Amino acid sequence: MTYTVGILGATGAVGQRFVQLLEGHDRFEIGALTASSSSVGQTYREAAKWTLETEIPAYVTDREVIATDPDTVPNDVDLIFSSLPSSVGEEVEPAFCEAGYVVSSNSSNARLDDDVPLTIPEINPDHLDLIEVQRDRRGWDGALVKNPNCSTITMVPTLAALDQFGLERVTVTTLQAVSGAGYDGVPSMAIIDNAIPHIGGEEVKMETESRKLLGEFDGAGVTWHDAQVDASCNRIPTLDGHLENVFADLADDPSPAEVATAMREYSGVDLPSAPSQLIRVFSDPDRPQPRLDRNVEGGMAVAVGGLTSTDGGIRYNCLAHNTLRGAAGASLLNGELLAERGFL
């Protein structure tokens, strides 16, 4: 079955990734592209300051950009992908849900609301059933589903694989690419030959979202995982790919080889955009690296290396493509899960 989808914020950095990923998709076809008022009425070619490594896909170049409003989106659209800034999304996304649209959103607003599924299909697909709680509580015919922050989604699959060893505490330092801040997010003179040891709100997102994602759904709500998570987030002058240094304290004492096996064998999910192997483990101590490994499995897998025992558990490095696995690709997977589970 083919579903018609819309993209909110289609001209931005993450919106462009949606356009790229949806080209030739076997279940989804684009029925609406929205953007800010300054772009409304223009063709996508005119409105989008295309920043990706490929040309604008021909199938959208002459599509008209419409307003980001439920009244302008065609009624036959089955699913909305949102890449809006959170300040816009917190007002606009509920309006779409009230109008009956199902929204798979990359925006940070509402991720921690107790009736909003925060979902990674390979990690917690059962959390999607919060939609029924959400609809009962809010009176919506539509629904709102979130994927996590781009730095959170890099780390959480590895933590899910470690949970069998008794995950107790996590300390993480991130080295995050400039694309995570959007096209206009970091001035060139601030980041070239530099590193910025602060990303506003990022630490809190990692420390909270990871515990909700790893939590247990009981049919009415999610009980967060009780592991302590502490994060320090840094911006560095790489274009794409968030690299993270993780220290995990574990109740058990697994060897690096046992951890590597657990990560390699961590179960995937049978969805069109899912990687064949969620976690790719490198034996080389100097891997993963953003330039070499951000496109593993088409940018949809997490790369891991440097597995080393510590007094309390395990230390390692992990990496994911922040605008593919960490943003548009994550929302796309959630959209595929919504279709698979019959919510569209």
- The letter for the amino acid at 327 is A
Q: Is 233 a catalytic residue?
A: no
**What token pair was written down for 39?**
């772009």
| Closest among 226, 229, 203, 207 to 216, alpha carbons compared | 226
- Edge to edge, the sheet with strand 143-146 lists 66-67, 28-35, 3-8, 79-82, 102-105, 143-146
CB 137 within 8 A of CB 144: no
DSSP states along 254-301: --HHHHHHHHHT------TTS-SSSEEEP-STT---HHHHTTGGGGTS
Phi, psi of 328 (to 5 degrees): -60, -45
Q: Burial, 310: exposed, middle or buried (Cβ in 10 Å; 0-12, 13-18, 19+)? A: exposed
> Residue 84: CA atoms inside 13 Å, Cβ hemisphere, count?
29
**What token pair was written down for 110?**
């509402």
Q: Is 242 a catalytic residue?
A: yes
What's the CA gap between 215 and 226, in Å, rounded? 8
CB 321 within 8 A of CB 261: no
Of the candidates 97, 150, 233, 318, the residue annotated as catalytic is 150
Q: How many residues does the chain have?
A: 344
- Report residue 238 CA to chain centroid gap: 19
Phi, psi of 26 (to 5 degrees): -85, -5
Of the candidates 97, 127, 225, 242, the residue annotated as catalytic is 242
| Closest among 56, 45, 110 to 84, alpha carbons compared | 110
Q: How many CB atoms lie within 10 A of CB 67?
A: 15
Query: Hunting for tokens 């940018």 — which residue is that?
Result: 299
Which residues have a catalytic role annotated? 150, 242
